[in-house]
Structure 1
């Protein structure tokens, strides 16, 4: 996990979060990183291919992707929170970036298996939205802050630059709010290093499971059905 941790820190540090376009820039880089990957952490397409080859069917591969990335996210959450309160301010940005990158990789792999073009900007923004989970997306759609569900965005006729920025800002705001809430709830536990690590493991694991299930729901198969 050192690779995503260091990438996350460098991304957060490079983008001024109070700048108008800062949130959009950070989120797009995290999604791109999760989808394209590195030598140490192969991207969504490679991950999807490995799981499909190993498990033999798209749906079995989707299930395995969720299990694998839940384990990775839990381990990452444990590592970045293990230091307790002393490392909280350092660990939180890296934790947020690492989880976003890992979940983007998972959702991208699911979308790829279901027949979506990961080079399509609409699909990448749908992946970004999926990281919020069903409840937050539904609330933002109901309030008019987002134009529709990830499936709607992924299959829309087009998407303009203003909408791209709006989606990225809404997602970043919600992610930072959720991260802040997690820290408030667990602040006492984080004063005790080992307990703090357990809180991070449980929270990040559960969140990744929820995102994986939402991705499975939203990215319905676009592959042709074989008939005999």
Structure 2
């Protein structure tokens, strides 16, 4: 996984402009829409807070165990959608790439928002939603953006900011779109040899998407420190 991930990231950085032309709908607006749907619910997926509360009830009110289950459930969802959108080979890339990115954005946003809710954060607060977007980027990207002073701090700091900066959400959504393009495109090109056997490509997609979702969950678990739950 480590080798594949490293190669994928390197290749992804080189092909983002080309993939961007294949997936012109993957923009900051699309990411913000995915975030809203993840929190409010979409299709068979209930709202993030409701799903998290269900896990909390199943775990007898134990928040830490509920968060563990939220992460595990969404890792499985990411793996399933990764498999579905990665079978068929590179010829279907233009069709399935936007779906893969949108699916990952929704699933990971839903998971992160659920964790934030369980830790006592109000998902209707735009500052918290901005913090969810930042968490999607992962610690390495967030640290770099903070270092370059493009954002004022890590997700916890964004959630606790005294005022909401609407331009920050657009900036982070743009970064999320680029990062996800790089990850998904890099993963696909790095495993192109396996695409000659479609099922192998699907298994690679499932494991990669599941792993990145697990990492996002761990980062969210670390960043959203407990608040008094309402």
Query: Does the pair score TM above 0.5?
Result: yes
Larger RCO of the pair (alpha carbons < 8 Å, separation 6+): 2
Q: Deviations over 1:65-123 (max 9, x none)?
A: 11111111001101111222232221111011001101111111100000000001110
Greater mean deviation of Cα atoms: 175-184 or 145-154: 175-184
1:101 aligns with 2:101: no
Mapped partners of 2:113, 2:132: distance in 1: 7
CA deviation profile, 1:33-84 (whole Å, cap 9, x unmatched): 1111135110101111110000121111000111111111001101111222
Q: Aligned to 2:128, which of 116, 123, 128?
A: 123
Q: Give the match's secondary structure for 1:38.
A: coil
CA positional deviation for 1:16: 5.5
Instruction: Please give the per-residue CA displacement for 1:153-175, whole angstroms capped at 9, x wherever unaligned.
Output: 11111122322222222222222
Distance 1:170 1:152, change over 3 A: same
Q: Is the 8 A contact 1:85 1:192 kept in 2?
A: no
Which runs of 5 or more structure 2 residues have no equivalent in the other structure?
1-19
User: Does the CA contact (< 8 Å) of 1:24 and 1:165 recur in 2?
Assistant: yes
TM-score by length of 1: 0.85
Q: Does 1:24 align with 2:28?
A: yes
The one of 115, 129, 137 aligned to 1:132: 137
Contact 1:35 1:105 in 2 (8 A): yes
| CA distance in structure 2 between the aligned counterparts of 1:172 and 1:40, rounded to whole angstroms | 24
For the residues of structure 2 that align with 1:133 and 1:111, how far apart are their CA atoms?
15
Provide the rounded CA distance (Å) in 2 between the counterparts of 1:35 and 1:78. 24
For 2:42, the equivalent position in structure 1 comes to 38
Per the alignment, in what secondary structure is the counterpart of residue 165 of structure 1?
helix
RMSD of equivalent CA atoms: 1.9
Corresponding residue for 2:164? Answer: 159
Runs of 4 or more, structure 1, over 4 Å off, are none
Q: Deviations over 1:150-200 (max 9, x none)?
A: 111111111223222222222222222222222221222223201100110
Partner of 2:15: none
Q: Residues 155 and 223 of structure 2 are in contact (CA less than 8 Å); yes or no, is this contact kept in structure 1? A: yes
Measured after TM superposition, the shift of residue 128 of structure 1 is 1.0
Q: Does 2:174 align with 1:169?
A: yes
Hey, what does 1:88 align to over in structure 2? 93
Structural mapping, 1:216-227, within 5 Å: 216-223=221-228
Pair 1:59-2:54 in alignment: no
